[in-house]
Amino acid sequence: MKVRVRFAPSPTGPLHIGGLRTALFNYLFAKKHQGAFVLRVEDTDQSRLVEGAEQYIQDALSWLGIPPDESPAHKGGHGPYRQSERRAIYEEHAMRLVQEGKAYYAFDSTEQLDALRKEAEAKGEKFIYNHNNRDGLHNSLQLSSEETSRLLEEKHPFVIRFKSPADRQLQLDDLIRGRIVIDSNLLDDKILFKSDGFPTYHLANVVDDHLMEISHVIRGEEWLPSLALHYLLYEAFEWEAPQFAHLPLLLKPQGKGKLSKRDGEKGGFPVFPLSWGESTGFKESGYLSNATLNFLALLGWNEGVEQEIYSLDELKQRFDIDRVNKSGARFDVEKLKWFNHHYIQQASNASLAATLQNTQAALSAADLESLEHFVGLVKERESFIADIYTHNTYFFESPSSYDPKALKKQIKEDTPALLAGLAAKLQALEDFKSAGLSDCLASYCEEKNIGLGRVMAPVRLSLVGALKGPSIYEIMAFIGKESSIQRIDNLIQHTS
Ligand code: GLU
């Protein structure tokens, strides 16, 4: 049997990062088994459709580097891939179940059902539309066929409900959770089809998974409660059910409770892969796609070994659904930053320099070769591409202030004079390169019979504005003789 999996989002807004993790696990499973990864757009709930959401989904998958083999944009032999274009198929299947006595028309109005719900609540019970009470309700199981036909002809609003069986212990299998047993008496007669001509999620999802020859349904844990009904639908249609795997929830960074959009707002991290309206995405926040992918792959899956760094190719070979955990996966933003730091170190200086040139207005005219050199000097300390520039702007402009604590500690009475002497020596230096600069400073301190630090720290302060950054000799060589001496003079003026 060929492995075919699908990612089936509803385009009701931007894809949540948890949705992207579901897509990734489907993709990896498909690739591991030389199967197909299908993107099916579940857009039957017309009232919740959001303009641009479908495109967003496709863009997010492309950004992560996990393009579908079949999708609305990339057709295969199992389309259409948008449920709104498959309405006739669902209607035909709903009718088939009605004709076979496995589903029925229900004409109960919302008011009638609300009243029944309230009545049950008043008695401390829960109203469930099923075998317990369907005989007394307004549906085609009770009405004569003439009466049912008349209501349908008169366009009386109706829904088609599934006739859920009584007294059965349903044995459901999940690849991650094992066997789950459900008492069918707890199930209600779920709505499959509405009189507006649209199916509900359950009918459309099962019919499509069958017709699209989906072998494994891998989806979020929030769909576990639908599993019993889906099993019953496969049985009613006399189809073989696919295998199911329900992925663990993504938990808040603190570890308790489901990750929500608000957690991102509170914790200052994105929850959407790409920006959407006011919300900044992972991409725009400076997370690299390979870092995000590596991080997502380990949210709920591990090989049981120390390894944490995985390339996409490795994941395609090693991902195994049997090693997906049941328990929720903590969304640890610090870990994500750690991955980002790692992948920034892996990225070539040339590509980082090109990105900086394109994204930082102040660098748009900078020389690429020297940008590349700059990146090589500072990236070791950085976890975000933008920070490579924003944390190290002193490579391009004089510091606008000095760290007051450092000033107090490092500037002694004789410092301005010492700096002035050094500036004169630097002026005379012909070859303004790192090694020569280092020798120059060392011999100057020897002449003056002082420790290197007496001069080095003030020089750093003059160049950077704080006691941080890479080697001062590299900084001086980068900014050149004129700027270096100018910055030293600036500090002399500031302190004398
Ligand atoms: N349309 C559902 C969603 O939005 C699909 C659930 C499933 O994968 O069965 O997640």
Q: What is the CATH number of the domain that holds 231?
A: 3.40.50.620
Q: Which residues pair with residue 220 across a beta bridge?
A: 247
Catalytically active residues are: 261
Confidence of residue 286 (pLDDT cuts 50, 70, 90): very high
For residues 214 and 176, state if they share a domain: no
- Structural domain that includes position 358: 349-395
What is the SS3 string spanning 92-144? HHHHHHHHCCCEEEECCCHHHHHHHHHHHHHCCCCCCCCCCCHHHCCECCCCC
CATH code of the domain covering residue 451 = 1.10.10.350
- Looking at residue 404, its pLDDT comes to 97
Q: Is residue 387 part of a domain?
A: yes
> SS3 for 259?
coil
Residue 265 confidence (pLDDT) above 90: no
For residues 166 and 185, state if they share a domain: yes
- Looking at residue 261, its pLDDT comes to 87
- Looking at residue 127, its pLDDT comes to 95
- Are 435 and 442 in contact by the 8 Å Cβ rule? The answer is no
Q: Is residue 303 part of a domain?
A: no
Average of per-residue pLDDT across 40-63: 95
Characterize the bridge pairing of strands 169-174 and 159-162: unpaired
Confidence of residue 354 (pLDDT cuts 50, 70, 90): very high
Residue 408 confidence (pLDDT) above 90: yes
- Are 240 and 211 in contact by the 8 Å Cβ rule? The answer is no
Q: What is the pLDDT of residues 422-466, one digit of tens each?
A: 999 999 999 999 999 999 999 999 999 999 999 999 999 999 999
For residues 95 and 189, state if they share a domain: yes
Q: Is residue 139 part of a domain?
A: yes
> SS3 for 427?
helix
Cα–Cα distances (Å) from 308 to 248, 295, 297, 317, in that order, read 19, 9, 10, 15
Residue 198 confidence (pLDDT) above 90: yes
With a CB cutoff of 8 Å and minimum separation 6, the contacts of 209 are 6, 217, 242
For residues 62 and 207, state if they share a domain: yes
Residue 195 confidence (pLDDT) above 90: no
For residues 23 and 41, state if they share a domain: yes
> Ligand 1: which of 5, 7, 10 to mutate, most ligand atoms within 8 Å of CB?
10
- Looking at residue 253, its pLDDT comes to 93
For residues 205 and 190, state if they share a domain: no
For residues 174 and 189, state if they share a domain: yes
For residues 384 and 423, state if they share a domain: no
- Are 98 and 105 in contact by the 8 Å Cβ rule? The answer is yes
Q: Is residue 38 part of a domain?
A: yes
CATH code of the domain covering residue 157 = 3.90.800.10
What spacing in Å lies between the alpha carbon of 90 and ligand 1's midpoint? Answer: 17
- Looking at residue 46, its pLDDT comes to 84
CA 317/CA 310 separation, integer angstroms: 11
Label residue 430 exposed, middle or buried (CB < 10 Å: 0-12, 13-18, 19+).
Answer: exposed
Confidence of residue 186 (pLDDT cuts 50, 70, 90): very high
Confidence of residue 228 (pLDDT cuts 50, 70, 90): very high
- Looking at residue 1, its pLDDT comes to 81
The model's pTM: 0.92
Question: What's the total number of domains in the chain?
Answer: 4
Above pLDDT 70, what percent of the chain? 100
What spacing in Å lies between the alpha carbon of 453 and ligand 1's midpoint? Answer: 63
Count other Cβ atoms within 10 Å, centred on residue 378: 18
With a CB cutoff of 8 Å and minimum separation 6, the contacts of 70 are 36, 37, 38, 39, 76, 77, 78, 79, 81
What spacing in Å lies between the alpha carbon of 225 and ligand 1's midpoint? Answer: 12
Q: Is residue 371 part of a domain?
A: yes
Confidence of residue 258 (pLDDT cuts 50, 70, 90): very high
What spacing in Å lies between the alpha carbon of 226 and ligand 1's midpoint? Answer: 10
> Ligand 1: which of 203, 219, 249 to mutate, most ligand atoms within 8 Å of CB?
219
- Looking at residue 42, its pLDDT comes to 97
For residues 119 and 181, state if they share a domain: yes
For residues 485 and 410, state if they share a domain: yes
Q: Is residue 182 part of a domain?
A: yes
Among 153, 169, 194, which residue terminates a domain? 194
Q: What is the pLDDT of residues 26-43, one digit of tens each?
A: 999 999 999 999 999 999
Pocket of ligand 1 (CB under 6 A): 8-10, 42, 201, 205, 219, 223
For residues 217 and 182, state if they share a domain: no
Q: Is residue 419 part of a domain?
A: yes
Residue 496 confidence (pLDDT) above 90: no
Please identify, by atom number, the ligand 1 atom nearest to the C-alpha of residue 22: 8
- Looking at residue 255, its pLDDT comes to 87
Q: Provide the phi-psi class of 301: left if phi over 0, else alpha when psi is between -120 and 50, else beta.
A: beta
Q: Which single residue is written with the structure tokens 């992560």?
A: 64
Q: What is the pLDDT of residues 96-118, one digit of tens each?
A: 999 999 999 999 999 999 999 99
Q: Which residue minimizes the CA distance to atom 2 of ligand 1?
A: 9
For residues 205 and 188, state if they share a domain: no
- Looking at residue 356, its pLDDT comes to 96
Q: What is the mean pLDDT of the chain?
A: 96
CA 447/CA 443 separation, integer angstroms: 6
Q: Is residue 356 part of a domain?
A: yes
**Percentages (nearest 5) of helix, strand, coil residues in the chain:** 50, 10, 40
Among 217, 250, 283, which residue terminates a domain? 250
